[in-house]
Amino acid sequence: MWALVRIAGWDSWYPAVQLIAFTPYVAVLSLIPWGLTVLWRRWDAVIAAGVITVLLTVCVLPRGLEDSDPLAGAKGRELKVLTVNILFGHADFGRVLELSTQADVVMVQELVPAFAEKLEPHFPYHVKGGEVGIYSRLTLKGHEFRPNPMMFGQITAELPGANVMLQSVHTVAPSEQSRVEPWLESFRRQQRAEPDGPMWILAGDFNATLDHAVMRNLVRSGYRDAAAVVGKGWTGTWGPYDGDNIPPVTLDRVLADRRIGIKDVEIFEVPGSDHRAVLVTLVLP
């Protein structure tokens, strides 16, 4: 049933919307019933259990294997993008600032005024709206804030002259049944890739993994998930980092237009936050 729900994309109901995030763990655990059926010599069950293990493995294995990306080695300007959820200002400012020095652009979620005031002097350009912001060492042009249902949203700005649009993303979390439809609506409002238009870079807390159908559909519009490209798609960014007994899952990510090279991804602890920061090195064509 788990494999069927995952492959068919039937995960937009509660509690499947939460459970499906743990598919990589289930793929590993599926080896147990397969091993037991081998011990019991129930060969019909061995075949069935083996097929299920293979299906789940096919779903999750690619994101843990490094792709060969010719665009990463192409001539072009490097752009370093950091995304960090600061848990409504509870994240350690010194740590966020330290990580920010490594980036050209910083996408922030759960931003509060006091934190924003401390961060702004370190960046010549910044835009914010709702609880999301973009802080940049490069010139930003214009901005637009688009709210999601209930709370959160995304803010957009342009890197003039580069044909690049930036968006700091924060979707509704499907933490209970009443939030599932707002979560789905959040993804309906996400920016689709524009293969014949500007190159979009979406970064933030998507509150979804690559095992959620809505996330895969967004990627298929013309993006690549940076962590999956470099083989770090299994690395958790949310879960136990503020003391909760939850296995790590990957909610924070950078999606880049397929015309953009993906050179490296680094993931860092951020004291005080329930999320980890993601730093991605991109290569613009």
Residues in the chain: 285
Quickly state the pLDDT bin for 211 (edges 50, 70, 90): very high
| pTM, entire model | 0.95
| Close Cβ partners of 186 (under 8 Å, ≥ 6 residues apart) | 148, 149, 152, 171, 172, 207
Average pLDDT rounded to a whole number, residues 120-139? 96
CATH assignment, 70-283: 3.60.10.10
| Mean pLDDT of the chain, nearest integer | 95
Of the chain, the percentage scoring pLDDT greater than 90 comes to: 90
Average pLDDT rounded to a whole number, residues 259-272? 97
Q: What is the CA radius of gyration of the chain?
A: 19
Average pLDDT rounded to a whole number, residues 45-65? 95
Residue 243 has pLDDT above 90, yes or no: no
Question: d(Cα 189, Cα 181) in Å, to the nearest integer?
Answer: 12
Average pLDDT rounded to a whole number, residues 37-41? 90
Average pLDDT rounded to a whole number, residues 255-282? 97
Tokens of 32: 């147990």
Question: d(Cα 26, Cα 22) in Å, to the nearest integer?
Answer: 7
Angle between helices 31-40 and 43-60 (to 10 degrees): 160
The tens digit of pLDDT for each residue in 56-84 reads 999 999 999 998 877 777 778 999 999 99
* Closest alpha carbon to 69 in 257, 254, 230, 193: 230
Residue 252 has pLDDT above 90, yes or no: yes
β-pairing verdict for 141-147 and 105-109 = unpaired
pLDDT at 68: 80
pLDDT at 210: 98
pLDDT at 265: 97
The tens digit of pLDDT for each residue in 159-199 reads 998 999 999 999 999 999 999 999 999 999 999 999 999 99
Residue 131 has pLDDT above 80, yes or no: yes
Average pLDDT rounded to a whole number, residues 80-109? 98
pLDDT at 242: 87
Tokens of 246: 């939850």
